[in-house]
Amino acid sequence: MSAGATSSRGAGGTRTLHLVLAWSFVGLPLLWGVLQTLRNALKLFR
Amino acid sequence: MRPLSFLDRDRTVAGAGFSRWMVPPAALCIHLCIGQVYAFSVFNLPMTRLLGITAAAPGDWRLTELGWIFTLAIFFLGVSAAVLGRWVEEGGPRRAMFAAALCFGGGFLVAAAGVHLHDIWVVYFGYGVLGGIGLGLGYISPVSTLIKWFPDRPGMATGMAIMGFGGGALIASPLSVWLMGRFSTPEHVGVAETFVVLGIVYFIFMMVGAAIVRVPAPGWRPAHWTPPVQQPKLVTSANVHVYRALRTPQFWLIWWVLCLNVTAGIGVLGQASAMSQEMFPGKVSALAAAGFVGLMSLFNMAGRFLWASASDLIGRKSTYFCFFVLGTVLYALVPTTGATGSVGLFVLCFLIIISMYGGGFATVPAYLKDMFGTRYVGAIHGWLITAWSAAGVFGPVLVNYLRAYEVARGVPKADAYNLTMYLMALLLVAGFFCNLFIRPVHERHHMPVARGDATLLVQ
């Protein structure tokens, strides 16, 4: 199988929306955690 | 149809048009959850006053008893990764992720029952044993799948997942504190309820990862990428069986490389707060030290992704050479920062050191793939995790005992860490030589290429 198929959106294919949802699902909690940590760290160093 | 047959490897083969960029989020679903283990200490103090509520009462658990929960979890992480690695490799990622979700989420629920009944042994079994097995299964479950999806950038791919393990604590720590605040009342510490919520949330989150993970079809390769005709000397296109790999000097050299790199980092990671305050009395307050620890967590996480990605460009062996050379110089520099009172330089040294600690974890799966091929890389990685368990014992013991020894000898507290820093630098020199001696695995260890297996070699 060639990978040219990776960009297609046939049956079983990945839509851009799926990618956005999947990355948001993990990215948003991670971003929240990073911001919390950064906020505490910067506040404490003042 | 067999129940749970949807977990089988052949049911997870990606269809045409599946984007490989769906796989890192699947891996992150697992690693962001199991990374919670690094934040378990937020429960320690509340669990010492489950009966007394505002202060510890007779019959309340002691911190020394509670410390065993984390130790057991890390121990069972190592054991399950080693023993179940082959099962994970052969059964496929979805089955392993499902089992990890059951064990990790279920472990929280059992631990909640233990807190409710005030029976420490139930907590040990729940979070320590069951949760620990979930940690081990979860940690290795996406590794080989990611390497197969990203043969062009295996370091970056595994770095992304293992970065999630570092990031999990950043989420779990404030989330746990917030939940305990919500469930606490004047008559009750909300630890059990927090465990229940975390168990359910983590189970669901991990199951999303299990649902979206896919393995590539045989013969799949990324668009516009062809395996290089001339591989670098240390990168093999053959495969080595997991049990054969354990009999090669290369495996044990990499084991020591990881163990020494982790030992040097883990010892100071746990002592960073106290060390910064003792080395700079009057200059670093307890609050500033807590901020320093938070920054270290961020660099630990970022280092996992950045160093592992860099290893795709400069090679695995060169990346570890960077860790060992730069780490040795920085550790040797730390006592000077203390002597000159340079807090900024001290912080900078440790932030770089801790990024390399994380980078060591994240780069090692790709190192194993280079040496032993992709076929059993997850299982081999499982055995290698025992180096982490060993380092988890060596590192803190070295730092704690050496400091205590120096203080007992009458060395001022501000200088009590100097000997430890030089010893850490020495450990990294030893790691440098282990890395130096790594050579390609001899062909006699390679698995025979069966018909139909040839396609696996290009993955």
pLDDT for res B225 = 83
Return d(Cα B225, Cα B141) in angstroms, integer: 25
Q: What is the mean pLDDT of residues B149-156?
A: 93
pLDDT for res B433 = 97
Q: Which residues lie closer than 8 Å to B377 by C-beta, 6 or more apart?
A: B89, B143, B144, B147, B365, B368, B369
DSSP B214-264: -BPPTT---TT----SS--TT--SS-B-HHHHTTSHHHHHHHHHHHHHHHH
Residues of A in CB contact (< 8 Å) with B are 1-14, 18-19, 22-23, 25-26, 29-30, 32-34, 36-38, 40-45
pLDDT for res A15 = 84
Indicate where chain B has its CATH 1.20.1250.20 domain(s): 18-212, 242-445
Is residue B310 helix, strand or coil?
helix
The verdict on B171 touching A (C-beta cutoff 8 Å) is: yes
Contact between B359 and B304 (Cβ < 8 Å): yes
Q: Is the pLDDT of residue B378 over 50?
A: yes
pLDDT for res B134 = 97
ipTM of this predicted complex?
A: 0.86
Sketch the domain layout of chain A as residue ranges.
17-46
Q: Is the pLDDT of residue B396 over 90?
A: no
How distant is the Cα of B299 from the closest Cα of chain A, in angstroms? 11
Residues from chain A contacting residue B354 (CB–CB below 8 Å): none
Could B29 and A9 be called an inter-chain contact, meaning their C-beta atoms sit closer than 8 Å? no
CATH architecture of the domain with range B18-212: Up-down Bundle (1.20)
Return d(Cα B150, Cα B138) in angstroms, integer: 19
Predicted structure pTM score: 0.88
CATH top-level class of B242-445 = mainly alpha
Could A30 and B171 be called an inter-chain contact, meaning their C-beta atoms sit closer than 8 Å? yes
Return d(Cα B245, Cα B379) in angstroms, integer: 10
How distant is the Cα of B268 from the closest Cα of chain A, in angstroms? 18
Return d(Cα B266, Cα B360) in angstroms, integer: 12
Q: What is the mean pLDDT of residues B365-381?
A: 92
Of B231, B283, B244, the C-alpha closest to B414 is B283
How distant is the Cα of B103 from the closest Cα of chain A, in angstroms? 21
pLDDT for res A8 = 40
Residue B319, CA distances (Å) to B147, B325, B362, B390, B432 in order: 18, 10, 11, 22, 11
Instruction: Please list, residue by residue across B147-171, b when 16 or more beta carbons sit within 10 angstroms of its beta carbon and e when fewer do.
Output: bbbbbebbbbbbbbbbbbbbbbbbb
Q: Which residues lie closer than 8 Å to B155 by C-beta, 6 or more apart?
A: B308, B309, B310, B311, B312, B316, B319, B362, B363, B366
Tell whether the torsion through CA atoms of B137, B442, B429 and B342 is positive or negative. Answer: negative
Of A2, A14, A33, the CB nearest to B22: A14
